[in-house]
Amino acid sequence: MKCVISGSFRKFYAQVVELINEFDQLGIEVLSPAKSEIANPGEEFVILKSDDIKSVKDLEQKHLDAIQKADFLYVCDPGGYIGRSVSMEIGYAHALGRPIYALEKPEDAMLAEFVETKRPSDLQ
């Protein structure tokens, strides 16, 4: 199985890395993001040191392309927080018919209708 992890990398990148490790231990390949270090701390849109693309649009397109290849999208949303980029990614995954799972129930009532709360270990 293959997945993509979405979330606020600026706020929750440490938790995203924990999820990458957990999925790896479960034998689920994470297509995006790569486990790396943040290259531009303090910026609104995070760029990782492993990113070979520096344009925000191109980076987002690469993440969307990975969602298209994935079996599901997993949202890292401590406290239920989902930002604008992740909202778009949820909509994209939904349009593709991909299942969408989250760490916690999203704060936004509408987005919560499109997301199922599950732990990574429940997805084997």
β 29-32/72-76 pair status = unpaired
Distance of CA 123 to CAs 4, 39, 67, 71, Å? 13, 31, 17, 11
* In the chain, where the domains are located: 2-123
Are the C-beta atoms of residues 2 and 26 closer than 8 Å to each other?
no
Q: What is the pLDDT of residues 48-79, one digit of tens each?
A: 778 787 688 988 899 999 999 999 999 999 99
Which residues are CB-contacts of 69 (< 8 A; sequence separation ≥ 6)?
2, 31
Confidence of residue 35 (pLDDT cuts 50, 70, 90): confident
Q: What is the pLDDT of residues 9-19, one digit of tens each?
A: 888 989 999 99
pTM for the structure as a whole:
0.92
Q: Is the CATH code 3.30.930.10 the one for domain 2-123?
A: no
Q: Which of 89, 106, 17, 87 is nearest to 117 (CA)?
A: 106
The amino acid sitting at 99 is P
Residue with tokens 């079996």: 71
